[in-house]
Structure 1
Amino acid sequence: MSETILLVGHGSRAANGNREIEQFVQSWRERQPAWRIEVCFIEFAEPLLDAGLTRAAQDARRVIVVPLILNAAGHAKMEIPAHIAAARLRHPATEFVYARHLGAVEPVLHILERTLRRAMLALDAPDPKTTGVILLGRGSSDRVANGEVAKMARWLHEETSHELVDIAFTGITHPRLETVVQRHSRIGMTQVVVLPYYLFTGTLIERIQRQIAHLRQQYPLLRFGLGGHFGFEEEIFGLLDERVRAARADGTARAEHMMECDGCKYRGLAEPHESHHHDHAHTHAREVPA
């Protein structure tokens, strides 16, 4: 059976962010030469979802749609499924299977641990007990997505010697980075390491870099370390491979139930006779643009 894997990136107003995703896709193709891998974007870059789905369906009996998204909020739960539903009507001969997002999972924790170690070495390996860690997420109005960031912060706390591992968000929800840095300063941390919970660069990564520069001026006695985004880490490629294989094994019937639904603001919005699979067209949770 002919098959296309369609990777769905968020898209960024910053051209370098979109170029990074395209470079990532090229690297993934080189790792999986037998797979036909295409890419599209949710917003800000071409091709957008509808065009990407149409192109992926050409000469394909099956399209596996893989969201290149860490935490599932409105885009993954609402927007992508709605576009897939429309694509099924346009291409009735093609099977569309929706794979799970990357999620807050062990391989992502390994990336964060490695990034934290690098940042600590860049600070000349200070005492972790006096070094606060802030996991900085995108921010969403979806509490499940925000909860995934909190989950990773807790896991990081349990796997390291840092006594203080906090979360902050770039937008939409709270606390924000400056508030959390104030807290770390008040309780006596002498270093703070900020770990952006982001896959690729973009306008928000650039904003974070500027914020760190401002915070260094505001807190001259506090040393700051800044981790990098982690789209090209080995674990991300491995997770995507797993998502594709799971989607192949589970098929359409189960792949759409792979979202985390407990606590989801959309739970119960489907018709009474339908299973909850987020494939409905209610307004989706807002997310901070890249």
Structure 2
Amino acid sequence: MNTTTILLVGHGSREESGNAEIRDFVTQWRSRQPAWRIEVCFIEFAPPSLHDGLLAAAAQSRRVFVLPLILNAAGHVKMEIPEAIEHAREHCPGVEFLYGPHLSACDPILDILKNRLRAGMQQLDVPDPTTTGIILLGRGSSDRAANGDMAKMARWLQEEGDHELVDLAFTGITWPRLERVVQRQALLGMTQIVVLPYYLYTGTLMQRIHRQVAHLRSQYPQIRFACGEHFGFEPEIFALLEQRVEDLKAGRAESTLPCDGCSYRELAHDMGHGHSHEHTHAPQPLSFVTPGAQPLHAEHAG
């Protein structure tokens, strides 16, 4: 029996191509780290489920590192995954479960966004950045911490370059939507706009984004648009997860889950979820690191 299994937790998508990309990611990661046992499961829409993945990993190892492959999470990271770990602990008392952080707002993700922005500017033949607006477009959340992570990345992106206008837009749950932000940037005199999707993998929402940008091109013929792609296979993502593993191995990954933005706690109790303000999910402490936010009722994509 292997000592440790690394269990990567993907969100899961209604679009099978998004789930296939996550499985491809795991295949590539195994090639990078052949000595590691790396498995994958999904929160929804694809097998194996989170619960099945945890139990299968526990059957193979004495220690399981649970790593969410999620950019900005709330309900999933703060509630669903911890509760699934608690359930697995009850069924596998001899196995140690350690829970690492989601990907979060950090320098490696900023580097990916900067690379995507450079590619968009190249697509537009490198126009004046002061007349080129940037829109960071992500899945909206009812958790303010998740939206705050995106706001942080937008601010960092602005501080790292010469663009005077870096805005946020969301595909659902919260505001503003992409169309409204484009309207504002057009009124402010932007002659080019670069849309940067803040998504790891393809899915129904990525498909919708490309359709929206095509519509905007026809609505605003005076503005040139560039639209980036999702960014799941960049070296920064692999390196970030590898650092998470090393931190867990070294015991540097223990902390508590923050509750800021938990506007859905009462709803969770009504639905039967045992989510408390203190996040005391089990008698044994879980190992948490910098979790983020995802709503229970968010729009789902890859």
- TM-score, normalised relative to structure 1: 0.92
Find the aligned partners of 2:258 and 2:123 in 1 and give their Cα distance: 37
Structure 2 Cα separation of the partners of residues 28 and 200 of structure 1: 15
Corresponding residue to 1:269 among 273, 277, 290: 277
Question: Aligned runs of 1:87-106 on 2, under 5 Å?
Answer: 87-106=88-107
Judged with a 3 Å threshold, the aligned counterparts in structure 2 of structure 1 residues 35 and 191 are, in CA distance, closer, same or farther, namely same
Map 1:190-229 onto structure 2 (within 5 A).
190-229=191-230
List, as ranges, runs of 4+ consecutive aligned residues in structure 1 with deviation greater than 3 Å: 259-268, 271-278
In percent, how many aligned pairs have the same letter? Answer: 60
Residues 266-289 of structure 1, C-alpha deviation per residue, up to 9 Å, x if partnerless? 5972389999989xxxx9643221
Decide whether aligned partners of structure 1 residues 238 and 215 sit closer, same or farther in structure 2, where only a CA change above 3 A counts: same
Check if 1:138 corresponds to 2:139.
yes
Distance 1:70 1:271 in 2: 21
Task: Name the residue aligned to 2:49.
Answer: 48
* 8 Å CA contact retained: 2:259, 2:277: no
Structure 1 position 263, deviation (Å): 4.7
Q: Contact conserved, 2:73 with 2:295, CA < 8 A, in 1?
A: no
Asked if 2 retains the 8 angstrom alpha-carbon contact of 1:170 and 1:204, the reply is yes
Contact 2:97 2:286 in 1 (8 A): no
User: Aligned equivalents of 2:14 and 2:280: distance in 1?
Assistant: 39
Q: Match for residue 288 of structure 1?
A: 299
Q: Distance in 1 between matches of 2:219 and 2:36?
A: 50
Shift of 1:136: 0.4
Question: Does 2:254 align with 1:255?
Answer: yes
Give the distance between the partners of 1:102 and 1:244, measured in 2 at CA: 12
Residue type at the aligned position of 1:288: E
Mapping 1:117-136, distance limit 5 Å: 117-136=118-137
* Structure-2 change in CA distance of 1:277 and 1:242 (3 Å): closer
1:22 alignment counterpart: 23
SS of residue matched to 1:118? helix
Q: 1:58: how far off?
A: 1.1
Give the distance between the partners of 1:48 and 1:148, measured in 2 at CA.
27
Question: How many residues are aligned here?
Answer: 283
Long gaps (5+) in structure 2 = 266-274, 289-293
TM-score (norm 2): 0.88
Seen in structure 2, the aligned counterparts of structure 1 residues 276 and 243 have a Cα distance that, compared at 3 Å, is: closer
Rate the CA distance shift 1:215–1:272 in 2: closer, same or farther, 3 A: closer
